[in-house]
Structure 1
Amino acid sequence: MPVPSTSVPIRRALLREDVYARLRDAIVDCTFEPGEQLRDQELAAWLGVSRTPVREALLRLGEAGLVRAEPGRSTTVAPLDHAAVRDAQSVVAAMHRLAVAEAIAALSPADLDRMRAANRRFAAAVAAGDVHAALAADDDFHAVPVRVSGNAALRAVLAQYGPVLRRLELLRFGSAQARACVERHDRLVELCAAGDAAAAEVSHDTWKDLTSVLDDPAARDPRPPLTGTDRR
């Protein structure tokens, strides 16, 4: 697929993060498909930036497992790898459990309202079949306890391994499994509001169950090729 002909200007104050986010999202939504070659000069022209932040973003995406780069050779979009996804899922699930466990005593009524509002947006996006809006609302929902926990190491781990799961999240939010996420979000907020430590396990299970979409043919997008030792 060629680089899109149109783009939205990136804010200079957040240049590096915006370039990274734009490229990450283009990979997640298959604007750039698995196996496609990524040329930094073309990407820089598309985004309207220099090649330096593009190269930095590609390095980060390589560390996250979304691209494959070989020195002196091409950089390509990585396929969806079962083994890498399952490894990342275990780590991300544990981090979200820790975030809720550390945040629950400090969550304010305003924080809980933000989580409820995010889940309403999530439910509306699921009902409308808008998987990208659902993903954004889900990000906002889980970001609340992560922020309130104040744990910088936790945030760093999520920044490293969270991107590996985003393609899988899109698959889940476009399937019947998305409706169960709405209910689980509601349950998580209720437990947090009650100060119930069981909320941490609910958060963990939300992420632990994510990889079930790999075994659900009805939920699987046929475009991304699947790789790994458990490929079916």
Structure 2
Amino acid sequence: MPVPQGRGLAAKSLLRENAYRMIRDAIVDGTLAPGERLVDGDLVAWLGVSRTPIREALARLEQAGLVQTKPGRSTIVSPLDVRAARNAQSVTGAMHELAVREALPHLSAAELDAMRDANSRFADALRRGDVEAALAADDDFHGVTVTACANQAVLRVLEQFTPVLRRVERLRFSSLSGRGSVAQHERIIALCAEGDVEGAAAAARANWQTLVPLLDAAAPDTEHG
């Protein structure tokens, strides 16, 4: 069949995705602080793209709850909304439970080894107090079952809601409370290795429920409503 008309469609798509990911990551890691005003011109200069992918990225970030935009007025980085984070935690926990449930029956030895390796790197990062490395290793750990389940709906939901939780997890992984996740990961791996679908799925969901105490602690100062 003939090549479709139009040039640069892949490049434009890549620009949109890169702009979205870079602004999102800057919000999650605190480079762009809650309440900070996001000016199109500043973002254009920083990212080296036109205003169109910037506006599209901001629209996606607003859907994810990371920015707030008022028509004709400024766009700002959203404060931590505990109610939204609680909703994201419930959905994310359910998606990871489903990912484990669907992945485990055909999870390979190599994938179990990848989970062990990621958890080892996660534990090492926590010992060193390296929050960025801990978050990356945690992503790698949970990413094994998310990829193995091959459920694109799960992946899309997690891409939308996980960034909201990463802001909370930065607090957890910078404190001693985060070290409990190492043992929880080990339990998930052990149950997966045993082929215990129900046990592993429940353990995965319980792992994400450990964010609840942090959300409860933050509620008096940050919850909207």
| Contact 2:85 2:215 (C-alpha < 8 Å) held by counterparts | no
> How high is the sequence identity, in percent, across the aligned residues?
55
The residue type equivalent to 2:202 in the other structure is E
TM-score (norm 2): 0.89
Computing the radius of gyration from Cα coordinates, the structure with the larger value is: 2
* Contact 2:86–2:215 (Cα < 8 Å) also in 1: no
TM-score between both structures, scaled by the size of structure 1: 0.86
Greater displacement, 25-34 / 199-208: 25-34
| Cα distance in 1 between the residues matched to 2:56 and 2:143 | 25
- Residues 2-41 of structure 1 show CA distances to partners (whole Å, capped at 9, x for unaligned) of xxxxxxxxx9884333222211111112211111100122
Q: Which residue of 2 aligns with 1:76?
A: 76
Q: Which residue of 2 aligns with 1:21?
A: 21
Q: Distance in 2 between matches of 1:28 and 1:163?
A: 7
Uncovered stretches (5+) of structure 1, i.e. residues with no partner:
1-10
For the residue of structure 1 that corresponds to 2:210, the secondary structure is helix
Mapped to 2, the partners of 1:24 and 1:85 lie a distance apart of: 16
Q: By percentage of residues, which structure has more helix?
A: 2
Which runs of structure 2 are paired with 1:175-214 in the superposition (5 Å)? Answer: 175-197=175-197, 198-214=199-215
User: Which residue pairs with 1:227 in the alignment?
Assistant: 223
Residues 36 and 77, structure 1, Cα contact 8 Å, conserved in 2: yes
Amino acid at match of 2:89: Q
Which runs of 5 or more residues in structure 2 are unaligned? 1-10
Residue identity matched to 1:113: D
RMSD of aligned alpha carbons: 1.9
Alignment match, 1:130: 130
For 2:138 and 2:103, locate their aligned partners in 1 and report how far apart those are by CA, in whole Å: 18
The correspondence of residues 1-232 of structure 1 with structure 2, limited to 5 A, is 14-197=14-197, 198-216=199-217, 226-229=222-225
| SS at structure 1 position matched to 2:105 | coil
Secondary structure of the equivalent of 1:192? helix
